[in-house]
Amino acid sequence: MSIVENKTSYPWHDSKEHDRNHVWHAFGPVKGDTWMVEQAEGTYVTDVDGNRYLDAMSGLWCVNAGYGHERIAKKVYEQMIQLSYYPMTAAHIPGAQLADKLNELLGAPYRIFYANSGSEANETAFKMARQYHFLKGNSTKFKIISRYRAYHGNTLGALAATGQQQRKYGYEPLMPGFIHVHPPDPYRDHAENDLEAYGEKMARDLEKTILWEGPETVAAMIMEPIITGGGVLIPPANYMPLVSAICRKYDILLISDEVINGFGRTGKNFAFQHSHVVPDFVTMAKGITSAYLPLSAIAVRHDIYDVFAEAEGEYARFRHVNTFGGHPVSCAAALENLAIFDELDLVQRSAEMGVVLMNHLQALKSLPVVGDIRGLGLLAGIELVADRDTREPLSLDLMNKIVAFCKNSGIIIGKNGDTVAGLNNVITLAPPLITTEEQLITIVSTLKSAIESIL
């Protein structure tokens, strides 16, 4: 009998009290009880009160293959019996097989270094980039460039790279050496009518920053191909290729943060693949295991790895280890998760259902507060405004009402929150890649009713 069926003997009401008394939640403290979930299957999450919700955010943008795949649980069980743990100072079979699988998805030869979270993956890439330049005799190259509005993690370095002041306020000063540039945001910059010229301009602005900082001081640039949590900002098609070319010109390593973008979210294995660039690093987490277990990875271009492999001296090696990174059980979960991706063709499905989602979302266009609708694959952002002409952002209060209406109607949607002042006005959708068209229609029609409720 499952825990859900056996509710009478399961002390969930005590759990609520324990939670209230003892747990400090993300973005908390919060007033009153925190919503308590108990079970999830496919695209649905059920709470301890028996309410079922269609999860249009895949948890925290991560349950790409959907909830409750027993076959992942079985592989995890078998791996725990076979080899419950060994550190990555040694090799193990799931770690080696997963590195091979990731190379297949990346489409170019990369070395894989494992970690535990997206934040840690980005931290690791920063250290590798700095040491790479150090080993090549360019020890003045230490700065990391990133974009305003992007999130890169909660640790002090990854937070320093993050371009969201509301996540940093009160925790500063963070790590020195992080420089931010303006991200492409065609809607806010009124640039929708000439995307190519705008993409070119944004790339040239980046180049100007590099020149003014001094290219000999810049080690790396980190970017999500599509800024996700910052508000689903989709750049013009020419932007990432131009950024890649500029980075190469000044010997600046390009880190593609695919923590959300990766594993089919945008309709490709990785979002950089829309641009036909080859990043120097690809950082990934979340969808790698569809969040069945924690795992992240840093894919490092082979010739960068070779600089480490060929360097000599006491400080030549990458002196970096983590206890749990590349945990064999997490790697086994990732392999089974990616086998499901292949069998269900989830990446292609995301591309196709993304088009379907965008078509249905057009129904929102008639609502006066809908300023912009954008998306790629099963990732969408709906920017809401108080005034269509001035594009003044919708108030936080009304944004929260829309999200709450959807939740009360059984649909979990997201919104960008605690990013930059005044621009937390984008509704976000990132449903599991197994979501059906019928479910997408339900999500969109509920969102439409929610928006109508505040008009």
Ligand X SMILES: Cc1ncc(COP(=O)(O)O)c(C=O)c1O
What's the min distance (Å) between Cβ of 317 and ligand X? 25
What's the min distance (Å) between Cβ of 202 and ligand X? 19
Q: For ligand X, give the closer residue by CB, 228 or 273.
A: 228
Retrieve residue 106's tokens. Answer: 């990346």
Q: For ligand X, give the closer residue by CB, 330 or 446.
A: 330
CB 333 within 8 Å of CB 72: yes
What's the min distance (Å) between Cβ of 290 and ligand X? 13
Closest C-alpha to 398, from 384, 380, 387, 412: 384
Residues that bind ligand X (CB under 6 A): 117-119, 122, 151-153, 224, 228-229, 257, 259-260, 285
Q: For ligand X, give the closer residue by CB, 152 or 274.
A: 152
What's the min distance (Å) between Cβ of 274 and ligand X? 16
Q: For ligand X, give the closer residue by CB, 64 or 122.
A: 122
What's the min distance (Å) between Cβ of 288 and ligand X? 10
Closest C-alpha to 257, from 219, 293, 297: 297
Which residue has the CB atom at the shortest distance from ligand X? 118
Angle 387-392-394 (CA atoms, 0-180°, nearest 5)?
80
Contacts of 224 (CB under 8 A, 6+ apart): 150, 256, 257, 258, 259, 260, 261, 271
Maximum distance among all alpha carbons in the chain?
67
Q: For ligand X, give the closer residue by CB, 119 or 244.
A: 119
Q: For ligand X, give the closer residue by CB, 153 or 371.
A: 153
What's the min distance (Å) between Cβ of 298 and ligand X? 12
Q: For ligand X, give the closer residue by CB, 119 or 238.
A: 119
Retrieve residue 5's tokens. Answer: 């069926």
What's the min distance (Å) between Cβ of 296 and ligand X? 6
Q: For ligand X, give the closer residue by CB, 135 or 403.
A: 403
What's the min distance (Å) between Cβ of 402 and ligand X? 22
Q: For ligand X, give the closer residue by CB, 210 or 255.
A: 255
What's the min distance (Å) between Cβ of 5 and ligand X? 33
What's the min distance (Å) between Cβ of 281 and ligand X? 13
Retrieve residue 240's tokens. Answer: 């990432």
Q: For ligand X, give the closer residue by CB, 225 or 393.
A: 225
